Structure 1
Amino acid sequence: MDIRVFLLAISAITVGLVELVVGGILPVIAEDLQVSIATAGQLITVFALVYAIAGPVLLSLTAKIERKKLYLITLIIFFFGNVFTYFSTTFALMMTARVLTAVSAALIIVLSLTITARIAKPNQRAKALGYIYMGISSSLVLGVPIGIIITNAFGWRTVFLCIAILTVGTILLISMFFDKIPVGKVQPLSEQLKSFANIKIVFAHLATMFMLAGHYTVYAYFTPFLETTMNLSSSWISAFYFLFGIAAVAGGALGGSFATRIGSQKSILIILGLFSISLFILPYSTFSLPIFIIVMMIWGALSWALAPAQQDYIIQTDPASSDIHQSFNNSALQVGIALGSGVGGVAFSQTGSVTSMPIVGGFIVIIAFVCAAISLSLSTQKTNKKAQSQQITGRIQ
């Protein structure tokens, strides 16, 4: 495997850390900035929304800029965004810094995927892209416990200073090991949007969005949930996040094997159904620490088990436009994170109880299940929509 692929994966890990690390230290940030936990939770919501929009838009706007130069410029912006976060003394400044890091992070991840696809050998392309996705997923789930440990030892601001330092290292590595990368063919955003004429793909994106929304209705506020229901100390909470992260990373691998064995379409419905059930059970398992750990790890494993089956399904459904749809599916994931953290904040504010959030999340995942079922039913119908989709992809090409 080309060493540059691993460098891009390292970059993806560095960038991915900044998004959800806030979730594990929300109470500390809220107290320091003198806002409520629900308000502090919007730091996740805004980041995800900006990230979802910025990726495809910036990729089109920067289509004529040499890729290595663009990558380094974006990393530098990301570095200053984290330094800005470190020095933010008010919630408004913190929110501004989050927007800056979200915009740069979105472009870095999209560039990491597109550059990897270009530099990897054709027979290793899928595996190479898998390393990038592994970097993204591991940073999202393991960044939270790491952030808690650093916060407990040195304060929450140090978390972002560490990410800034890691970014400097990434800048140096990219500068040293990458030659100039010529611009490739990037489709205009207007052409990318035409791919949404494929309705069955749209419902697949909606399934991703609502699944993540249900998940982050709980996960974005998992720290106050553990503090309230389990009376856990910060060290125990960090341990729980590590267990969750390990389960989530393992779930991605198990989800891929599951989809290979029984097929992507069946896997999608089974995983979504079990995921919804795990959320409904979660608040009723807190009476016993061992039982709660088991339920939590099942929830964690299922949270990333859907991704391999969903990506495979999208490629099977519309191979010609799969790259575009993978990009939009990533945006749907981010919208789901934003929606879930926003809904979780509202549920927490209105009810004043963290135990209500898993129930709300479970119902949102049911919506994801319905969207997936609609998508799967449409994909089996022999209509002229397939011809229409081929016409659209022909115009895109």
Structure 2
Amino acid sequence: MPIALYALALGGFGIGLTEFVIMGLLPEVAADFGVTETVAGYLISGYALAVAIGAIILTALLNRLDRKKSLLFLMLLFIIGNLLSATGPSYELVMVGRVIAALCHGAFFGIGSVLAADLVAPNKRAGAIAFMFAGLTIANVLGVPFGTLLGQATGWRSTFWAITAIGIIAFIGLIALVPGNLARSPRTGIFAEFGIFRSPQVWLSMLVTILGYGGMFGAFTYIAFTLTGVSGFAASSVPWLLVLFGVGLFVGNILGGRAADRNLAATLITVLSILTVVLVAFALTAGNQIATIVALLLMGGIGFATVPGLQMRIMNHAAHAPTLASGANIAAFNVGNALGAWVGGLAIAAGLGYTSPLWAGAGITAAGLAVMLIATRMPGGEHAKAKPRVSERASASVG
């Protein structure tokens, strides 16, 4: 892989750490500012909302600039946001820091996905995107547990100081490793770029992302309750079980990218089918600890195997504005996160038990699979022209 991908992956690592590590530090943040954990939790939802907004707006605005300069600007936002989170004397200022850092999230992965794909041969594009997203998966495997331990031992602000330092290193890496001659965006107008949203396939791609990934994330959101309340694991075991889930994310991301390079549509259909089965099997066997460990690993691996393919599909269907399409799909991932968490929460609130988010996730993922199957058969889809009708073949022979 080109060395520039390592700089992109490091940026992805820092961004992933910023997004997820706060979950383990909410009690300390709440105690420090004298707010409830619910109010402290707004630091997570506020971040997610800012990601969705920044993914589209900033990507569209920055797409007229050189991609390398765009990434440097976004990483600068990341550094400023985390520095404010590390030093902000009030809850409100920390929220501002979270929002600033989140604005770079979607645009960084959106622009970075296109840049990563441009750095390699056409038959390796999904693999290059997966390599960049490997930083995000490593953040879950190693960054979040150790970032949480650091924050618990030396204060939650120390974690954000460490993330700021990672951002500075990534900024330097982008300067040194990303070539300017491969990093230029096409010069198209903003309104012309937004024309991609006239394509049904772009909207279908985003819907597959929302449903296909949202089902897995919805199940994951409440996984601690499932592990302790159904599987019978001690609360102290949960962080290490989540590391196992993160290992699945890392492996699934790499293998999913390779498979998508071989056959994009078949990979997405196969992976979404298997993910639905895994979520159902997990719900049925959650009372067995060994089965739960296996299912947790598979849920992470199969769930994140969709990511490179989902990014590639929307980029393929928006060839004249792939950067904006890529950013919009990052927003779709976050909408899926919110949808899955909301539906899973409703299921628990309805008294359906701690396996209900798994059942809800399976249903949402199955809906994503159905949309994917429909999309491939519609005009512009991967299989739309695969097999001409008999009448069409007859007409061709007559002509």
CA displacement, residues 220-278 of structure 1 (integer Å, 9 cap, x when unaligned):
333344344455456522211111111122122333455567x4434323322332233
RMSD across aligned C-alpha pairs, in angstroms?
3.6
Q: 1:230 to 1:311 in 2, by over 3 A?
A: same
CA displacement, residues 24-52 of structure 1 (integer Å, 9 cap, x when unaligned):
45565556656666655543333233212
Question: Per-residue deviation at 1:297?
Answer: 1.1
Question: Per-residue deviation at 1:321?
Answer: 5.6
Partner residue in 2 for 1:294: 294
Q: 1:256 to 1:185 in 2, by over 3 A?
A: closer
Q: Distance in 2 between matches of 1:223 and 1:232?
A: 9
Partner residue in 2 for 1:216: 217
TM superposition score normalised by structure 1: 0.79
- Secondary structure of the equivalent of 1:287? coil
Q: Distance in 1 between matches of 2:293 and 2:51?
A: 32
Partner residue in 2 for 1:196: 197
Partner residue in 2 for 1:226: 227
> Aligned pair 1:7/2:43, yes or no?
no
Unaligned stretches of 5+ residues in structure 2:
386-399
Q: Distance in 1 between matches of 2:94 and 2:272?
A: 35
CA displacement, residues 268-323 of structure 1 (integer Å, 9 cap, x when unaligned):
23322332233334344332221110111111111112234444555666656655
More moved, 348-357 vs 4-13? 348-357
Question: Per-residue deviation at 1:101?
Answer: 1.0
Q: Distance in 2 between matches of 1:352 and 1:100?
A: 38
Question: Per-residue deviation at 1:80?
Answer: 2.6
Partner residue in 2 for 1:75: 75
Q: Distance in 2 between matches of 1:197 and 1:322?
A: 14
Q: Distance in 2 between matches of 1:343 and 1:42?
A: 18
Q: 1:224 to 1:67 in 2, by over 3 A?
A: same
Partner residue in 1 for 2:394: none
Q: Distance in 1 between matches of 2:104 and 2:322?
A: 24
Equivalent pair of 1:42/1:342 in contact (CA under 8 Å): no
Q: Distance in 1 between matches of 2:148 and 2:243?
A: 10
Q: 1:304 to 1:179 in 2, by over 3 A?
A: closer
Please tell me the residue identity of whatever aligns with 2:220.
Answer: Y
Partner residue in 1 for 2:86: 86
Q: Distance in 1 between matches of 2:26 and 2:362?
A: 22
Q: 1:194 to 1:91 in 2, by over 3 A?
A: same
Equivalent pair of 1:60/1:189 in contact (CA under 8 Å): yes
More moved, 359-368 vs 17-26? 17-26
Please tell me the residue identity of whatever aligns with 1:217.
Answer: G
Q: Distance in 2 between matches of 1:40 and 1:303?
A: 28
Equivalent pair of 1:59/1:186 in contact (CA under 8 Å): no
> Aligned pair 1:166/2:166, yes or no?
yes
Question: Per-residue deviation at 1:63?
Answer: 4.9
The structure with higher relative contact order (CA 8 Å, sep 6+) is 1
Equivalent pair of 2:129/2:308 in contact (CA under 8 Å): no
Partner residue in 2 for 1:205: 206
Q: Distance in 2 between matches of 1:192 and 1:305?
A: 28
Equivalent pair of 2:7/2:178 in contact (CA under 8 Å): no
Q: Distance in 2 between matches of 1:313 and 1:123?
A: 13
Aligned ranges for residues 338-377 of structure 1 at < 5 Å?
338-345=338-345, 347=347, 351=351, 354-377=354-377
Partner residue in 1 for 2:252: 251
Q: Distance in 2 between matches of 1:352 and 1:93?
A: 39
Q: Distance in 2 between matches of 1:359 and 1:40?
A: 28
Aligned ranges for residues 10-29 of structure 1 at < 5 Å?
10-26=10-26, 29=29
Question: Per-residue deviation at 1:196?
Answer: 2.4
Equivalent pair of 1:46/1:338 in contact (CA under 8 Å): no
Equivalent pair of 1:244/1:297 in contact (CA under 8 Å): yes
Percent identical among aligned pairs is: 24
Equivalent pair of 2:75/2:167 in contact (CA under 8 Å): yes
Please tell me the residue identity of whatever aligns with 2:237.
Answer: W
